[in-house]
Amino acid sequence: MVHAAKASHIGGCLSMADILAVLYTRILRVDPVDPQAPSRDRFVLSKGHATAIMYATLAECGFFSLAELDAYCRDGSIFTGHVSHAVPGVEVSTGSLGHGLPIAIGMALAARNAGAGSRVFCLLSDGECDEGSNWEGILFAPHHKLSNLCVIVDFNKIQSFGSVAEVLNLDPFAEKWKAFGWQVEEIDGHDLTALERVLGGVPAISGRPTVVIAHTVKGKGVSFMENKLEWHYRSPSDELLAQALAEVGA
């Protein structure tokens, strides 16, 4: 998809592929036949620039056909370069970083107040945690005891123009969340068993939201992309596409 459209963000798509695979095949209570079912769990992709992997996941899970992905990033297509709620299975359009978590918190608060059993999962990028609106939300959610909320941080250590440590160091990251009153889990974000165990345990503690700090690798699975800053924006040539597909077994 990224190659055909000459689009970007493939590195950040690959870092979160395992997270989405576990969420959509093992965790989320969602129905491709009825994507707006009132009782559904909600998933908010706050790092909306990583839209290609979101659309691919939804297609693989039957929300629409794989053939429709040929329209990715084409003029007039609903499959836009930042995730769009026009696509079946997408809850909200995102891409302006720092917006997804506040929206997810609103969903979780509404579900709790309505007595619904819905859970809300929100995936953030690590670089996105530079945004002040996130830290307001991080303070708000424990105050309102939103145990039906789970944040997942795709902690691949690289953001658009440099490493997270260089641009704005987040350390001590887990301790910050703990100080704000969250249940904190740190795992290998490519360990499917660990992902299923932790995400399947939400809500973990009554009255406390959960954050899963998932340590990942930007460009995971493709040797020339792994931990390389340029693959935040670059799209592969014909030759590199063939190599990448061979390495991931596609």
Kindly report the number of other CB atoms within 10 A of residue 150's CB atom.
30
Whole-structure pTM over 0.95, yes or no? yes
Kindly report the number of other CB atoms within 10 A of residue 7's CB atom.
17
Fold of 2-248: Rossmann fold (3.40.50)
Domain boundaries, the chain: 2-248
155-175 pLDDT tens trace: 999 999 999 999 999 999 999
**pLDDT less than 50: residues of the chain:** none
Residue type, 163: S
**Pairing outcome for strands 162-163 and 158-159:** antiparallel
75-128 pLDDT tens trace: 999 999 999 999 999 999 999 999 999 999 999 999 999 999 999 999 999 999
Q: What is the average pLDDT value for the chain, to the nearest integer?
A: 97
Kindly report the number of other CB atoms within 10 A of residue 84's CB atom.
19
User: What pLDDT is stored for residue 250 in this prediction?
Assistant: 75
Cβ atoms 233, 159 nearer than 8 A: no
Q: Is the sign of the CA dihedral 95, 13, 88, 32 positive or negative? A: negative
Long-range contacts of 55-62 (CB under 8 A, 24+ apart): 55/1, 55/79, 55/83, 55/87, 56/1, 57/20, 57/21, 57/24, 58/24, 58/32, 58/87, 58/88, 58/89, 58/90, 60/24, 61/24, 61/25, 61/32, 61/89, 62/32
User: What pLDDT is stored for residue 81 in this prediction?
Assistant: 97
